[in-house]
Structures are given as C-alpha cells and as structure tokens.
Structure 1
C-alpha cells in the first residue's frame, strides 16, 4: 500500500475550529501527549496508508485534539488499542463497520483515513465504493450483516430483530458486542471531527 501524500502545511486550516497544537505554548503533559501520538498513533496511520500530519509534521485529524486534551485522548487511544488487539471481528469487517459510521455522519477525515485502512487490510474496492455510495451490491453475507447492523443502529438508534439475528448468525454473541463497541468508538470520533469541523485530505483513487 502506498502511503498517502501528506497535505501541504499551508494548504488549509487543518485544525478546523481548534488551534493547531504546534502554534500554542503547550504544558508538559500536552507536549508528552504529542510525542506519544507521533511515536504510536501516527506511525500506525502511516503504516495504514493515511496522513496523520501535514508535510511540516503538524498533527491533523483527531490527533491534534488528542494532544490538546491529553487525558481523554489517551483514554480513547487505549480503547482503540484494546479493540484492535482483542476484537473477535476480522479486520475487513471492522472497517465495514467504521466506514458505515463515518459515511452516516459525513465525517470526512474518518472516511478518508478508513478507506486507506480498509484497502490495507484487503477490503474490496467494490465494498469500499458501495459503503461510500450506499450500494450493497456485491457485499458478502458477513459484510452485509455488519453494515446493516451498524447503519440501523446509527441512523435509527435501534436494530430490528431480523438485523440482530443476522448479526448473531454471522458473528456470534461476542461479535455483536464487539460490533456495538466499535460503533460507539467511531461515533465518538465522528462527533469530535464534526463538532470542530476538522478537514481531511482528498481520498486517493484506488
């Protein structure tokens, strides 16, 4: 997977409504949090094919917010890391869920980042394009079950009996619990990105 090009530092206001952390006089905890993000989360982002910084090294996406508020930022990252290590869901199914949430919320950076992650873990371009366009033709049964469960929960705040039963059949009880945790995780991410109008680089062509 080719890593996406880092956007130019002066191309736009990558902090959205938030000040960029590198423009502020950070306290010791904020500086430590920034270094932790650059050493861990940013490296994961690079390996996954999306840009966590601009071309001058300034944090973009949710990472800037995590540096500004270290305690909740660290707690959120622990939640993500715990899910990545212990989820019963496969990596491609996780990306179906994450993209379903991001598209429903029109969270540009989340969709940008997780299109890249989805490609890295082998989710097909047919499914990626379908998730972005609302077209489920060509989805495998487990992909469709995950997408329908996440979309119903996000858009209607409930899940029908039929959709729930299909998810249990596909993933088991633990898998459905993991689905719900994953939806919640990326609802929080989408809310953060949208509340502060955090922009995203363009999504590269396949």
Structure 2
C-alpha cells in the first residue's frame, strides 16, 4: 500500500519539519537503513493495511526520521522487532496498548497505522472505536485491563494498585513487564511524530 502525492505537492509535506530522505544525498549508513525499512518495515505495513511509503518512494511516519539518524533508528527498530517476536502479549492486546498511547498523545500517524494493525490482528471495531473515542463499553476483561494499565501510566505517570494487580492477574509478571516495554516504545514513537509534526493519511472507514 502506498499513498498518492497530488501533483504539485511539496515533497516535504509527509516529512513534517524534517527533510524527506529522498531529497538528500544519503551516506552509506543512511542508505542501508532506508533499504532495510523498504524491504522489511514497508512490507509489514502493507500486510497490516497501512502505508509506509508514498507513490514516489518516500517514507512516511517515523521511518524517514530513522533514516536521517541511522544508528539510533536501527537500534530502535531492533527493539520493536524483538518485542514483536518475543512478547508474551497476544497481538490484539499489544494493539490495545499501542492505540492507548497514540490516542493519549494525539500522535496521528501512530493512530492511523495501528488502527489498521489492530484490524489485521483481529481487534474488534467496537474496541478500536472505543479506544479512539474514550469509551470502554464492550471491552473484554483483558482488553480493559491492558487499556487501563497503559492509560494510567501515560496520563498520570503511575499505575494504581488495583490496576496493577488486575494486569498481573491476567498477564503475569512477564506480561506486565511487556506492557511497560510496549508503552515505552510507543511513547518514544509518539514523541518523535509530534515533535516533528509528522502527518498521517486519513484513516479508512
């Protein structure tokens, strides 16, 4: 999946405050990161139903920033890949957490991408809409526990004893550790997206 750029559109629009990597002369490390993102990240994005590139081959979302700073970008992507492979949390629960963070931070591209990823993972439209609109009606017990844990941590910087106990009951100690790692990853992603005012395509119905 790619996003079409209208004729005459500014090449920097999708980069927000950052220059688009395709407008720059990249060094070897930057080109290697870009190629890796196109070969792996963009394929995963397409499989999940959202766009990581436009029709000119430019990178969308946080991916452009990862190319501009290849060493931390590579390390960050390795962290995400490690979590995806080894998390004890089911994919729909991971998407509950990611969307909780993205909505709290109003990080447009994160919400755009992970609405699609949540649908691909089998999260119900009721829960997706509730996460975006601030309602928990219709949430299953594990969805509600994951959302409350992440939401409290993001918005109050603490987790209440009862919220923690319920998360530990449902997910175990490893699961709670994985919840916190996941929140941290997507807080960092949200900060990057918002600091550089990186836009997002519209979310399909």
Per the shorter chain, which TM-score range?
A: over 0.9
Q: Segments of 4+ in structure 1 off by > 4 A?
A: 9-12
Aligned mates of 1:93, 1:55 — CA distance in 2: 32
Q: Deviation per CA, 1:139-166: give whole Å up to 9, x if none.
A: 0000000000000000000000010011
Query: Partner residue of 1:148?
Result: 148
Q: Is the 8 A contact 1:7 1:201 kept in 2?
A: no
- Structure 2: which 5+ runs fail to align? none
- Structure 1: which 5+ runs fail to align? none
Query: Partner residue of 2:86?
Result: 86
The TM-score, its normalising length taken from structure 2, stands at 0.96
Deviates more, 1:92-101 or 1:31-40: 31-40
Query: Partner residue of 2:168?
Result: 168
Measured after TM superposition, the shift of residue 56 of structure 1 is: 1.1
Query: Partner residue of 1:187?
Result: 187
Aligned mates of 2:46, 2:94 — CA distance in 1: 19
Q: Deviation per CA, 1:146-188: give whole Å up to 9, x if none.
A: 0000000000000000100110111011000000000000000
Measured after TM superposition, the shift of residue 7 of structure 1 is: 3.5
Q: How does 1:47-62 map to 2 (within 5 A)?
A: 47-62=47-62
Q: Deviation per CA, 1:116-151: give whole Å up to 9, x if none.
A: 000001000000000000000000000000000000
Query: Partner residue of 1:22?
Result: 22
Q: How does 1:1-206 map to 2 (within 5 A)?
A: 3=1, 6-8=3-5, 11=9, 13-205=13-205
Q: How many residues align?
A: 202
Aligned mates of 2:79, 2:189 — CA distance in 1: 12
Aligned mates of 1:152, 1:53 — CA distance in 2: 33
